[in-house]
Amino acid sequence: MAEKDIFQKINKLKQISLSESQKEEIFLLIQKRIISSERRKFAFLSNFNFRKYQVGFVFALLIIFASSTLALANNSLPDSPLYSLKIFYQNAKIAFTKKENKAQVKAIVLKERLNDLKKAKSINDPRVLKLANSLKEDLKSLPNEITQLNKQKEILKVSQSIQKTTEKMKEISNEVPLVLKKEINNALEETNQKIYSLILETEDKINNCPTYLLKNLEDLRVYFENSEYVKNYNPKEILEVKNTLNEIDSLMKAGDCLGALEKIESLNQIKLIHSLRVLNESSVDSSPSESLDQK
């Protein structure tokens, strides 16, 4: 309908004379029509199957609740009921970290816990004392975590990184209440001494690489040239071992001590795997004969 036609109709309507009751009736009809139109807009809500999607709604609400609770837990202190949730989250973070980074992440988490311990309001709270005890034990376990790494280069790098973290922890521990300070400082000192020894030992292996490598290389050559030791190796494995021994020799001549050291460690791993395999096979083979003897 054109704009001109609309105005013409409006002018005609103006000329109609209506009583008050008629006007009221028309008004009610228009109001009813508007309400009906609005209802149709939201008709989908009346047909929406809330029961069908209730699991999704509940899951979404749980995520929102968990996120807000975790945010509160991250800001909580050891004497708070929510702190156990923070501990759980930190332990999960350590558990899901790659092996080569696990010790470093654990050291950072321990530094965070020590910082929380420093801020605790109630020192005599059982939760605070429990945290202090677990902190001491976890600190002492750090050197063992480092030695789980396979490569000397990684051990040295991680040891140096953790040593920096524990040095910062010493500064924090000075602000810990006196009741807890002594034992935590003792644990830190013990840990630092072990890590320092580990650094010196690893650096010694790397710096005195030629002598160390020569001895290991000679031992490996003697082992893999002994037909009795390598009788369970297949031809492909023997060829790989020989190639690796030649690579070690080349790396040593090139002065790449760390590269040679890694190759030696890989051959030691092969030896260990085959030793375990032979041991397992011999135990399986001996089982039937033992059972026959018993009969």
> Using CA atoms in the order 232, 233, 235, 240, what is the torsion angle rounded to 10 degrees?
-170
CA distance 31 to 36: 9
In a domain, 295, yes or no: no
Highest mean pLDDT among 35-49, 177-191, 267-281: 177-191
Q: Which residues contact 275 (CB under 8 A, 6 or more apart)?
A: none
Percentage helix, strand, coil, to 5, in the chain? Answer: 80, 0, 20
Highest mean pLDDT among 50-54, 111-115, 278-282: 111-115
In a domain, 56, yes or no: no
CA distance 276 to 285: 14
Confidence at 8, pLDDT banded by 50, 70, 90:
low
Same domain, 97 and 193: yes
Q: Which of 168, 188, 207 is the last residue of a domain?
A: 207
Mean pLDDT over all residues of the chain? 77
Same domain, 111 and 159: yes
pLDDT of 178 reads: 81
Same domain, 131 and 192: yes
Q: Total domain count for the chain? A: 2
Task: Residue 159: give the domain boundaries.
Answer: 62-207
In a domain, 20, yes or no: no
Same domain, 215 and 199: no
Same domain, 157 and 271: no
CA distance 230 to 223: 8
Same domain, 221 and 200: no
Same domain, 147 and 132: yes
Confidence at 45, pLDDT banded by 50, 70, 90:
very low
Same domain, 73 and 150: yes
* Number of neighbours of residue 240 by Cβ within 10 angstroms: 15
Same domain, 155 and 239: no
Confidence at 101, pLDDT banded by 50, 70, 90:
very high
CATH of the domain at 198: 1.20.1050
In a domain, 173, yes or no: yes
Whether 191 and 142 have beta carbons less than 8 Å apart is answered as yes
Q: Which of 175, 207, 239 is the last residue of a domain?
A: 207
The rounded Cα 122 to chain-centroid distance in angstroms is 31
- Please tell me the least confidently modeled range out of 142-151, 236-245, 248-257: 248-257
- What is the pTM for the complete model shown? 0.53
In a domain, 2, yes or no: no
Mean pLDDT of 222-237: 85
pLDDT tens figures, 201-210 = 888 777 666 7
Q: Which of 174, 207, 240 is the last residue of a domain?
A: 207
Same domain, 154 and 271: no
CA distance 200 to 194: 10
